[in-house]
Every structure is written in C-alpha cells, then in structure tokens.
Amino acid sequence: LRNRLTTDESTRRRAATLADVAASVGVSASTASRALNGRGEMSPATRAAVLEAAERLGFRPSPLARSLRTRRTHTVGFVVPDVASPFYAAALKGAQSLLQTAGYRVMLMDSEQSVQSEMDALQTLVDHQVDGLLVATAGIGVQDFADVTGDDTPCVFFDSLVDGAGAGAVTLENAAGIDVLVDHLHEHGHERIALIAGSQQETSGSERLDAFVAAIRRAGRNLPGELICAGPWTQAAGAEATRALLELDSPPTAILACSAELALGCLSVCRDLDVELPDELALVSFDDPYFGALLEPSLTAVGYDPSEVGRAAAGLLVEAMENGEGERREVRVPVALVRRRSCGCEDTP
Amino acid sequence: LRNRLTTDESTRRRAATLADVAASVGVSASTASRALNGRGEMSPATRAAVLEAAERLGFRPSPLARSLRTRRTHTVGFVVPDVASPFYAAALKGAQSLLQTAGYRVMLMDSEQSVQSEMDALQTLVDHQVDGLLVATAGIGVQDFADVTGDDTPCVFFDSLVDGAGAGAVTLENAAGIDVLVDHLHEHGHERIALIAGSQQETSGSERLDAFVAAIRRAGRNLPGELICAGPWTQAAGAEATRALLELDSPPTAILACSAELALGCLSVCRDLDVELPDELALVSFDDPYFGALLEPSLTAVGYDPSEVGRAAAGLLVEAMENGEGERREVRVPVALVRRRSCGCEDTP
DNA sequence: TTGTAAGCGTTATCAC
DNA sequence: GTGATAACGCTTACAA
C-alpha cells in the first residue's frame, strides 16, 4: 500500500540509475548495460542478477542519455496545418497507433497553415533529433525543406506533396474522386457545375482543381472561369463562394465542394437563403464527414478512411527509418462514392 | 543556391557543436555557453564573437544534451482517450498553441480508452522526463497515478478528474449544463425524460448522470431507472440506448444525450425508425458539435469552447511548472444553451 | 572576465 | 565474460 517511490527519509530518493543497478550487483556499468540490452555473451548468472537488481530497484533507463549516446531518439515529428481538423486528427490517430506499437513516440507540431511556422516546427524537430518526420505540408518548397532538414531525416509527406521530396508520400486518389463526382453529376443531367476548390498552396487542393478542369473538358463541356472558386479550407470560405455563385447571372445547377468544410459552408448558406437542395441546386463533396448521413439533405460525397492515410504514412516512415531509404514510395489511399440525397439520389441504407 | 548543410567533401559534415563554435572563436566551451545563454558578465567583444561564430557555423544547441544536464526537457506529455474525437482534438490544439508559445513541445499519447494503456503512456512520458503532464484520464486511480509518476511531475487533469490529484484541473460546468437542459425540457412540458449517459469510469460521465438525477428530483418528478442508460461515448452506444428506450412500454417523450456522439446515434436511429423529431420525441445534447445547426432537425445543445479547455489546462500547467505547485487550482469552463429545433423550439439565426 | 573540470546516464571500444 | 575508459553535447561550480 505504501508508495514505492518515496522513502521515509527526509530526502526524496532519486530514481535508480544504471550505475546503481551495477553497484548493487557488484558488476561494472558496462556489464549491467549488456545484461539489460541482451547484447554480447555473458554468464547466465550475472545476467539474472542484473535483471533482478534492476527489477528490485525499479530501474528505468533514461531515454535522454541513451539517445545522446546512440543518436537515435525513437521519436518522430508530426506536423499538420491544423490538428483540430477531423481529417488531420484522424490521420494523427492512425499514425500514432502504428508508431506506438513500433516503439516510437510522437512529437506534435501545428503549423497553423503558415509556411513560416511549418519551417520553425521542422527546425525544432530536427534540433530534437527526431528519427523521422511525418508532414502534411502547408506548402513549403523543396529547397526550404532541404535547407531546414538537411535531408538527413527520413520524411514521409501525406495529404499534400512537396515535389519529389521525402522518402515516401501518401495521398488520396484525388483525380479518381473528382472524376466519379463529376460523372455522377453529369448522370443527373447537370450542365453548369461549379467547383469550390480549397487552397492552391497544397497539392491536395491543386490536384482536385486540375482534375475537375480535366473531367469537364473530357466530357466536352465548356468551363466558364466564374464557376471556379478557390480559397482556404474553411466553412466560411465555402459559404462565401456559394453566395457569390448564387448571385451569378446564370448560377450553377450543381456545386462540387472540395472538402467537407467547404460543403458545410455551402449547406448553411443554402439554408439561410432558402435554396432547396437538391431541387434548386445539387451539392456533392470530396470528403465524407462521419455525420454526412444526418445532414439535411444527407450529403453525397466521396469518402475514404482518414486514419488509413496516417497509418500508411507511418508505415512507410518506419520502413525508411529501419531499413534506410530505398526507393521513394508513393501510396494513394482509395476513395469511394457514397450516394445520398444532396445530389438528387435517394438515401441508401 | 547550394545546400548549406552538405559539403563538397565526401564526408557529410556533422552539425556544428558548441565546442566547434568555441574553438572557432578561440575561447572555452563554457565561455561560449555563457555567451549564447546570456548568463554572467563578460566582455561585449567575446560575446559578439561567439554569437557571430554560432551564426556563421549554423550552430544549433542540442536539446538532448541540454536536457540531460539541466534535467528539464521543455516537453509536456499529453494523454487522451482518443485523439480523433473532435473534443480532444480541439483541446489538444488549444493546449499545443499555448505551450508552443511558452516554449514547450508536446509529446502525444493516446490511451485508447484503456486504463492500462494510460498507465503505460504515463510511464513512458515520465521516463522521458517530461516537465509536465496534461491528462484526460480514462479512469486511472489516484494510487496508480502516484505509483507511476511518483508525484514528481506536475500534472493538470482536464475533462475528467482523479480525486484530488494533480496540480490543477479543468473541467466543464457539467452540473450547470445538465440543469439548463433539464429545465428547458421541463419548460417544453416533458414529464418522462430519459438520459443517455456516457461512461461512468470518468467524472465527466458520472457528474452528468448525478446532476441529471438531482435535477429531476429537485423538480419533484419521479425517475424510473429504466430511463437511464449508461455506456461508452460512442455513436453506436447512443443508437442502442435509443432503440431500447423506444421499445419501452411507456417510452420517454424526451431524451437528453450526454455527448454529441450519443446524440448522433439517437438521431440516426430515429431516422431509421421514422420517429419524427421533435414531435414524437424531443432530443437535447450536452455538447454542441460544430455542425449542430446543419443536422435535421437542428440540434438543441449545451455548447462550450473545447479548445479553451486545453488552453486553460495548459495555462495552469505552465504556471505549475515554472512557479512550482502552489494551491491546487480548479477551473470550470462555462457552457451555454443553444436552442434549435430538436427540442421543439424554432431555430434562432 | 575567462578557463578547468566534473557530471548528466548511457553505450561502444577496446583491453584483460 | 567482464571492466576501464572514452565519448555523446551541454551546463555550472569553482578556480584563476
């Protein structure tokens, strides 16, 4: 019942160190170290004795000291533009869980969508000698990235890419997702489709916009520039874009929002303006929020597993950290269309 | 244009160390250290020379070495039951941002709602000699907590409490929130109100349940046990509870869900079963999700700023880490009722 | 004002 | 098999 870690003496006992364990057994620190790490041959007797002493003294090796010596911290840095966003939070969880079982800790930084903060974050992490980096860039350049990291630390980018940089990359099937959304709207007979795009600083934004333009062209439709709005990934931006689109002389009959946030902004404006969805305007979204079925109208969207993005990225990173960087590997996480009512379909249970 | 961190020589240049800086100026390491840390008096000339050399060599002090020596890591551990949950993700962001500006890094651990994992996480963090702990407990006991941390590391609990443990605590106004919700349902004339409570392992769960019982009693109503369901904080649990409640011989006329997740589960079941909200059943929720206004029907709820919870907790922790633990401080983050349609009110824009 | 030396807790390289 | 000894990169008495 008594707390093992405090003593009756006035002095609070310091945590046991390797030297303490060694002394307690009567061997040298190096022997104790070898015993605990199972390195090298040694008499079973002393090994057992050391193990017993370590247990008895409640010895906990200091990762700090170990890292200083071995130059490995078993820590990876995780950098995202906004941890509070459902997507990044889920990716974080996926990554964290894989990393934890692989024996790595994660140090988290939020770049607040700023390239400068992102560079600061990377600098801090590199200073800490993290073994690897997982970053969803806010739009850093290849050169800046190399300058900060010295290209010494394995890095896997996810969500958005930085040219050919890094030991690997995980992104979504952006083009495929946009294609299926555009096709679906075409099937519903829409001719004037508007795009509410996200930030063009990141490839996750530009790939979707590019894919949209390509899909419309491929279908032989023409594409007025006024039907394309780009801005930050926020609900407010989605609302503003929708308002602008609805005020057009000939407004679109359908809107494709490039993220759930943007779709939500669109939804709320339509509600305010009493625009009936999907009759007066159809809406589809790249990104299926977990409450998509409960919105009014329920949201037709392209969905995917956000935690899988983090998990896959972490997997590549562990690979790169342990086996050295081999081929640069790119993974695309698949997406799938979920038909609901906002496009004009019926809910499917 | 050329990368500063690589050399033309075959050998990749090692990052400059304090010794390198000192040597380059022709002073001792201690002098260089003092110059860089601005400690002690010294000739402006040498100080300037050291600073210049550090700059020129791109010197970056090693936090690892520094921490080993000073026994301060400028790192705080952050432990939550589920980072992917919107509430914890927002709290994380609030905490992270305050900590970052205060000069601390955050090391993240997810306890996956398991007490054992939570203890492991705490152990890991303590081993890493974090300067402080921010934990939303999954239900650890006081004694276990003390055993792991040795009560050496300042800890601020948030969301849920551990008896009187820790240097401080930040929670929501659970009782006030439940009271206002129950009162509001009473105003709408409801006599049979059911509660879908969350996990009773955590005080955030038990406080809400207790407050509910008290509020009903205070109003002189009687409270059949069948109207209270407790379970995990998941949408699935909310759905299951709702299904059970609706099958009762005399089902409730109103439901109070103790979290947004639980309310969502309720909502989806009502949709499946064609139960009309709010006419056949009223629903209110403790926790106002950011898309609450866009649900069908829009959700009446008690809301609060989740990032403020993290920020406040981080504030208390920084205080405790820098000025030593003084009085144990408890903060309650305020909540406020948001009337929407699910209770029978009209939307207010 | 500056330098010397010890030490933070490990691990790695040698001898023995 | 095991033990000195020397790092890892920094801070801080204490001495000069």
Per-residue pLDDT reduced to its tens digit, A194-241: 999 999 999 999 999 999 999 999 999 989 999 999 999 999 999 999
Mean pLDDT across B139-166: 94
Of all residues in chain B, the one with the smallest CA distance to A61 is B127
Dist CA B154 CA B168 (whole Å): 9
Phi, psi for A331 (deg, rounded to 5): -120, 140
pLDDT at A84: 96
pLDDT digits (tens, 9 = 90+) for B271-301: 999 999 999 999 999 999 999 999 999 999 9
Using a pLDDT cut of 90, give the percent of chain B over it: 91
E-strand spans in chain B? Answer: 75-80, 105-110, 132-135, 155-158, 168-172, 193-197, 228-230, 254-257, 282-286, 300-303, 329-333, 336-338
Nearest Cβ partner of B64 from A6, A15, A129? A129
Mean pLDDT across A66-84: 97
Q: Kindly give, in sequence order, each residue whose CB lies less than 8 Å from that of residue B53, ignoring residues fewer than 6 positions away.
A: B21, B24, B25, B59
pLDDT at A14: 77
Q: Kindly give, in sequence order, each residue whose CB lies less than 8 Å from that of residue B11, ignoring residues fewer than 6 positions away.
A: none
pLDDT reading at A4 higher than 60: no
Strand order in the sheet with A168-172: A329-333, A168-172, A155-158, A132-135, A75-80, A105-110, B105-110, B75-80, B132-135, B155-158, B168-172, B329-333
Mean pLDDT across B202-215: 97
Which nucleotides of strand C lie under 7 Å from a protein CB? 1-5, 7-13
pLDDT digits (tens, 9 = 90+) for A337-348: 999 999 999 887
What is the number of other CB atoms lying within 10 angstroms of the CB of residue A16? 17
Q: Are B143 and B120 in contact (CB under 8 A)?
A: no
pLDDT reading at B9 higher than 60: no
Distance from CA(A65) to C1'(D6), angstroms, rounded: 15
pLDDT reading at B11 higher than 70: no
Q: Which nucleotide is nearest to A22 (CA to C1')?
A: D3
Strand C atom within 7 Å of B17 CB: no
Which stretches within A201-296 are classed as H helix? 203-218, 235-246, 260-272
Mean pLDDT across B307-322: 97
CB-based contact B295 A291, cutoff 8 Å: yes
Strand C atom within 7 Å of B42 CB: yes
How many Å lie between the alpha carbon of B128 and the closest alpha carbon of chain A?
6
pLDDT at A1: 23
pLDDT reading at B31 higher than 90: yes
pLDDT at B13: 63
Dist CA B36 CA B23 (whole Å): 14
pLDDT at B5: 38
Mean pLDDT across A296-307: 97
Mean pLDDT across A312-322: 97
For helices B260-272 and B235-246, the axis angle rounded to 10 degrees is 50
pLDDT higher at A83 or A3? A83
Choose from B12, B87, B105, B259 for mutation: most chain A CBs within 10 A.
B105
Of all residues in chain B, the one with the smallest CA distance to A62 is B127
Mean pLDDT across B86-100: 98
pLDDT reading at A8 higher than 60: no
pLDDT digits (tens, 9 = 90+) for A217-228: 999 998 999 999
pLDDT at A3: 33
What is the number of other CB atoms lying within 10 angstroms of the CB of residue A186? 16
pLDDT digits (tens, 9 = 90+) for A102-119: 999 999 999 999 999 999
Of all residues in chain B, the one with the smallest CA distance to A271 is B294
Nearest Cβ partner of A64 from B64, B89, B151? B64
Strand C atom within 7 Å of A71 CB: no
Indicate the pTM of the whole model: 0.94
Most confident of A11-20, A38-47, A89-98: A89-98
Using a pLDDT cut of 90, give the percent of chain A over it: 91
Mean pLDDT across B251-255: 98
pLDDT reading at A162 higher than 80: yes
pLDDT digits (tens, 9 = 90+) for B172-201: 999 999 999 999 999 999 999 999 999 999
pLDDT reading at B329 higher than 70: yes
CA B81 distance to own-chain centroid? 9
How many Å lie between the alpha carbon of B228 and the closest alpha carbon of chain A?
24
Q: Which nucleotide is nearest to B33 (CA to C1')?
A: D11
Q: Are A252 and A277 in contact (CB under 8 A)?
A: no
Per CB-CB distance under 8 Å, the chain B contacts of A346 are none
Q: Which nucleotide is nearest to B69 (CA to C1')?
A: C8
Strand order in the sheet with A228-230: A228-230, A193-197, A254-257, A282-286, A300-303, A336-338
pLDDT at A40: 82
Q: What confidence category does residue B324 fall into, taking pLDDT thresholds of 50, 70 and 90?
A: confident
Question: Is residue B296 within 8 angstroms of chain A, CB to CB?
Answer: yes
Closest protein CA to C1' of nucleotide C8, residue: B69
**Degrees to nearest 5, angle at CA B225 with B301 and B230:** 50
pLDDT at A326: 84
Per CB-CB distance under 8 Å, the chain B contacts of A126 are 60
